[in-house]
Amino acid sequence: MSFLGVNVDHVATLREARGTYEPDPVWAAVEAQLGGADLITIHLREDRRHICDRDLRLMMQTVSVPLNLEMSLHEEIVAVALEVHPPMITVVPERREELTTEGGLDVQAEVERISEVVKRFKDNGTKVSLFIDPEIGQINACRETGADMIELHTGPYAGSSGEKRAREIDKLTRGAAHGRKQELVVNAGHGLTYNNVPGIVETIKPCELHIGHSVIARSVFTGIRAAVEEMKDVIQKTLLMKG
């Protein structure tokens, strides 16, 4: 089974483009749930370019499926997350200049720092995932930190085709297998669409898929509830065919 986590950040992006109160990502989270989302994902960035503290706090009160908070290691964000106490966090790298997350977290370079943050959250009852490239060294480092999960970065797969895509699938498949050997829950996300998600479901069999932009883009034409239903249908049909 692959659970669908829907990222509603880009609803907030549209709101912030006009500096107004709509569209509201909290409403979007409700619609995503009604469409069958198994989780809701939001990224509270240091610059608050889309999701803001108000959104996080309201979703904690209204979302009935697990809320996954993507976040950097910046101490201000860590403090907010510890106070709000989401059921799950995913630690991601973050640069203010980037349009979207550009690569996996370098866990090997910051094992001690990340381990300390992981412990603080696990002591607080929050599950911790680390967003990484599918590299054996990074996966081993994740295990060392005490994290519960890894989210394999599927961006290079999503942005490739032909032989290059086959190589990316091979990396992801080997990374997923090694992650499970290290007793880590394996999730996947970034750049996934209605067209390319079957390749990930078929090969690496992630526990959770975290998808945002493609679903929100489709919802402009269909509505969020229908867009989520369609993505769930793609995932479930792939699982049935594979089975």
Rg (C-alpha) for the chain, rounded Å, is 17
Residues 4, 232: contact at Cβ < 8 Å? yes
Residue 213 a catalytic site member: no
The CA distances from residue 240 to 5, 11, 37, 100, 235, in Å, are 19, 31, 19, 32, 9
Residue 70 a catalytic site member: yes
43, 50, 178, 210: which is the annotated catalytic residue? Answer: 43
135, 190, 208, 210: which is the annotated catalytic residue? Answer: 190
70, 94, 151, 208: which is the annotated catalytic residue? Answer: 70
CA 92 to chain centre: 9
Residue 190 a catalytic site member: yes
Exposure string for 150-168, b = 16+ CB within 10 A, e = fewer: bbbbbbbbbebeeeebeeb
Residues 54, 16: contact at Cβ < 8 Å? no
> Which 3 state secondary structure label does DSSP give 7?
strand
Catalytic residue numbers, as ranges: 43, 70, 190
